[in-house]
Amino acid sequence: RRTLVNALAEARFPAPQKLIAWGRLIVAAQMLEDEQRTADGVARILDFPSGSAFRNTCQRYLGATPHEIRANGGASWVVEIFLKEVRRGGR
């Protein structure tokens, strides 16, 4: 574990748990591109404890609601934000 954490830090990536959260957000954003999917449905599929927990994660990492993620371009928008975070040292 220590080796992984150190390698990620050296590459300026977030810690493993945060990297997993970013990955889940990217997948969620891709799912939200389908306008038939609801935020609660995406939360269930990705095993968030609740729709509220999913929305809180969106706010914490992206400063956006699921609706705003969809409106801003979905997964490509989330990846863009993730890469900006990595460039400035990660979260």
Residue 13's pLDDT band, with cuts at 50, 70 and 90, is confident
Residue 87 has pLDDT above 80, yes or no: yes
Residue of 26, 54, 49, 24 lying closest to 38 (CA atoms) = 54
Residue 90 has pLDDT above 70, yes or no: no
Residue 3 has pLDDT above 80, yes or no: yes
- How distant is the alpha carbon of residue 85 from its chain centre? 12
Residue 88: predicted pLDDT: 85
